[in-house]
Amino acid sequence: MNPTGSALGYDAAPPISAPLRYFLSAPAFGVLGGLMLMLAPELLASRWTPGALALTHLITVGFLVMVMIGALFQVLPVVCGAAIPMARMVSGAVHVFMVGGTLALVTGLYTMQPPTLILAAALLGVALAIFLFSAMIGLAKVSAGTGSQRDMRLALIGLGVAVMVGLALVMTRAHGLPLPLFNLLQLHLGWALLGGAGVLLAATSWIIVPMFQITPPYPKLMTRFWAMSCTITLLLWSFAVYFEQHWLSVILLALVAGLAGVFLITTLITLTKTRRSKPDASFRVFRFGIWNLTLGLVCLLATYFSDAALLRIVAGVLILYGGFVSVIQGMLYKIVPFLAWLHLTQSGIKAPNVRLLQPEQRASAQLRAHGLAIATLVVAAASGNDWMIRLAGAVVVVEFAWLGANMVGVLSHYRRARHEAPARRHSHAV
Amino acid sequence: MTRQIDARGLEPPQPFELVMEGLADLAAGESLAVLLDRMPYPLFRILDRDGYRHSERIREDGVVEIEITAP
């Protein structure tokens, strides 16, 4: 038998505001990204223009990491039974540092001002350190470890490595430290995309895919060994890259890409086994995201056989926007209504059906705009036409504003339900 | 008397709703045996709050068995 009650810490469930503040602010960064494209279309000329770097970090840190951290505030207690201590305060503090850090990072990258970049690295570093420390305390109290919990720890460490390498990049640029800039850049990309975001996607997929997409569990070999294999291979690859062991780094990178491919294909196969009679919007966009990640990975590998700069930009759009943004949106459409339902129920209030909290039609309509945004972004990146890029920016603004409106819609239903039916017993303030 | 609910293979929050409906039908001292795909930590919170006794175990095949007794 497992321990029950407060021994597991689930009596300290976080307030709904702990994850929600992240979910509500993340789309604002997406809107900012779209505005940047509209106002400065020349930034897509190369991956390394200050504008392109700023845009990439608006989406990766401002949207992706923001939502992922918000989701962890809910996933850790609900799925792992791990309560983050002082969740309300920790969530508020991490959020302030994250928002401030992202804004400083984007400004610093756009203007290439070292002091702003150092401030950004410090703020983001503090945000991640507070979160990592609190999450580790929560996870340490959980008696029975599962693959997901271990993999979440690995992902948080991976994100930490990405931030530290990012900090080293900033210091190298700002103070001319004698570090190999290009090698650091590769390490930053590898750890951010695979060691952090990739492993976190996998760790949450082990749980969220069977739970919300009603599929059989992932194969045990995957849940036991995939994330650890990825992290160890990335670590070996990092040494090979840093010490400029070219062939070893190519072999290890092929291994890393192979592991990413195994995860993506296993996920696609697992999704075909869903017991849903009709795939809903969340299912479709999640599957679409996994396909985009697969296609983006193929484009990325193709860059080793071709010098076409276009291929790199298309790979970036497919992986970040078509892939990660899609799967994150798919998860949001499941997590946010469930969260509202759960908090109402735990407060002793008869909660509306989750389909009423987040109507399927609204999600579908917004996700069609998301599909259009990916298509216009790929065409814009391929053509390099300024007006096409401005159009893509406008679609990005619309889709993220729409996503934000849909999240606010769930919150409005939640508040109305609380207002109309006063809490029977204990209640959680928003 | 122990009633049984098999809530495996359902999308959240349906398992939660089924268990809550099952609890509403329980008389004092009666028990409910529930089969789930995963450990329902949020449910435990409500059970503890409302004074239900419960014990749980994870079977070899990963299925979670919970026995809940009404106060």
Please tell me the distance from the alpha carbon of residue A189 to that of residue A165, in angstroms, as a whole number: 9
Find the CB nearest B41 among A78, A210, A217.
A78
Q: Which of A122, A104, A231 is nearest to A166 (CA)?
A: A122
Please tell me the distance from the alpha carbon of residue A158 to that of residue A160, in angstroms, as a whole number: 5
Please tell me the distance from the alpha carbon of residue A7 to that of residue A373, in angstroms, as a whole number: 47
The complex's ipTM works out to: 0.85
The pLDDT, as a whole number, for residue A416 is 92
| B68 pLDDT above the threshold of 80 | yes
- Residues A145-195 pLDDT 10s: 566 778 888 888 898 899 889 888 877 877 777 788 888 999 999 999 999
Q: What angle (nearest 5°) sits at the alpha carbon of residue A19, between those of residues A101 and A324?
A: 70
- Residues A338-393 pLDDT 10s: 999 989 988 888 888 888 899 999 999 999 999 999 999 999 988 889 999 999 99
- Residues A214-226 pLDDT 10s: 999 999 899 999 9
The pLDDT, as a whole number, for residue B67 is 95
Find the CB nearest B48 among A5, A211, A338.
A5
Contacts of A239 (CB under 8 A, 6+ apart): A245
Find the CB nearest A354 among B13, B41, B54.
B13
DSSP, res B4: E
Residues lower than pLDDT 50 in chain A? 1-11, 424-430
Taking contacts as CB-CB distances below 8 angstroms, the residues of chain B near A4 are 44, 48, 54-56
Picking from B16, B17, B44, B45 by the largest number of A CB atoms within 10 A of its own CB, the best residue to mutate is B45
Taking contacts as CB-CB distances below 8 angstroms, the residues of chain A near B58 are 2, 144
Task: Tell whether B55 lies on the interface with A, counting CB pairs under 8 A.
Answer: yes
Please tell me the distance from the alpha carbon of residue A359 to that of residue A390, in angstroms, as a whole number: 31
8 Å CB contact between A166 and A188: yes
CB atoms within 10 A of CB A406: 23
- Residues B22-42 pLDDT 10s: 999 899 999 999 999 988 888
Half-sphere exposure of A48 (CA within 13 A, CB side): 5
Cβ–Cβ below 8 Å for B62 and A217: yes
Indicate the pTM of the whole model: 0.89
